[in-house]
Amino acid sequence: MKIGPYVLPNRLMVAPMAGVTDRPFRQLCRRLGAGYAVSEMVTSRPDLWKTLKTSRRANHDGEPGPIAVQIAGTEPAMMAQAAHYNISRGAQIIDINMGCPAKKVCNKWAGSALMQDEALALSIITAVVDACAPHAVPVTLKMRTGWCQSQRNALVIARAAEAAGVQMVTVHGRTREQGYRGHAEHDTVRAVKSALRIPVVANGDICTPEQARDVLAATGADAVMIGRAAQGRPWVFRHIGHFLATGTHLAQPLVVEVRRLLLEHLEDHYSLYGSHIGVLSARKHIGWYVADLPGGDAFRQHMNQLTDCASQLRAVADFFDVLGAQTDRLPEPIVLPQSGSPAQHMEAEQ
């Protein structure tokens, strides 16, 4: 699996998720078996680049390469400028966001709304590719199957993107109209893969090793991209990778390992966001880790009342100490269809 000059260690990718795939989360997923991770989307508006929110999203300190940054916007020149800016901040691959279904993004005609205007979409793609070419930085594209059921034009845009110089395409198997409802379909991925020579990645409703295997087999895709299934379970990449290689399942992780991983994750999280914002924004991550565990609901309610790093760390350590006294390993995960609104999933993959 290659993206431009970069050879990836496997076919497992972390999806860009707003408010989730920050540097600490990306690094943790890479440690646990993901071969590639894409940043949260970074706005193309120059007036917002100096904000604390954007500067955190553009922070790649200590991150293993290749460093991939997703940019979002509606104006070709501004998107080209955003590509330049992020390359100067360390980006080695630029990903164009044409997949985000969030209203606040689509209302500004960014994200998946661009799929309604194929001419504008191609203008943006061409401008970004031209901006990245002098730096030998590959450009990739993430999109949905289309805007709505009657306008499923992923194949048209994918062909145009390849012709313009895009070097990888990822397709989430839902339209923007679907949001996160229903089930992802991967027939569109198969059609795109059949038509293109560049790598094609399947995204959407890939939660288990069997689902990853089946989607790869059904579509011929070069890789799978996983988002919400990694929330609170970053070791999902390790488990899927092992299954694809051997056909056998790894045991669930030891409680002591998850305790250590989460505490390390929190320390890294606090270092990026600071103590005040760090405690608040860490709550969703902790909630995902404990969601299916015995006593998880009660613990989450207690943890959400804590307002300082030390108390949060101590509470997490104590929770897993109690759990570890009851069992050595985490219980098997409860895998449910990943449909519903982004609000139901707190933050959702684009």
Give start and end residues of each alpha helix (H) in the chain. 23-31, 52-57, 76-88, 103-106, 118-132, 154-164, 187-195, 209-219, 236-246, 255-273, 275-290, 296-303, 309-326
- pLDDT at position 59 is 81
Report, as an integer, the average pLDDT of 116-138: 96
- pLDDT at position 146 is 87
Residue 350 has pLDDT above 50, yes or no: no
- pLDDT at position 113 is 82
Per the document, the length of the chain is 350
- pLDDT at position 336 is 53
Q: For 69-93, what is each residue's pLDDT tens digit?
A: 999 999 999 999 999 999 999 999 9
| Catalytic, out of 29, 100, 106, 207 | 100
Q: For 288-328, what is each residue's pLDDT tens digit?
A: 999 999 999 999 999 999 999 999 999 999 999 999 999 99
pLDDT band at residue 348, thresholds of 50, 70 and 90?
Answer: very low
Q: For 215-273, what is each residue's pLDDT tens digit?
A: 999 999 999 999 999 999 999 999 999 999 999 999 999 999 999 999 999 999 999 99
Angle subtended at Cα 248 by Cα 245 and Cα 250, rounded to the nearest 5 degrees: 100
- pLDDT at position 105 is 53
Residue 179 has pLDDT above 90, yes or no: no
Active site (annotated) includes residue 309: no
Q: 51-70: b or e for each residue (b if 16 or more CB lie within 10 Å)?
A: eeebebbbbbeebeebbbbb
Token pair 């606040």 is at which residue?
Answer: 104
Percent of the chain residues past pLDDT 90, beyond the cut: 75
In this prediction the pTM is 0.91
d(Cα 79, Cα 345) in Å, to the nearest integer? 29
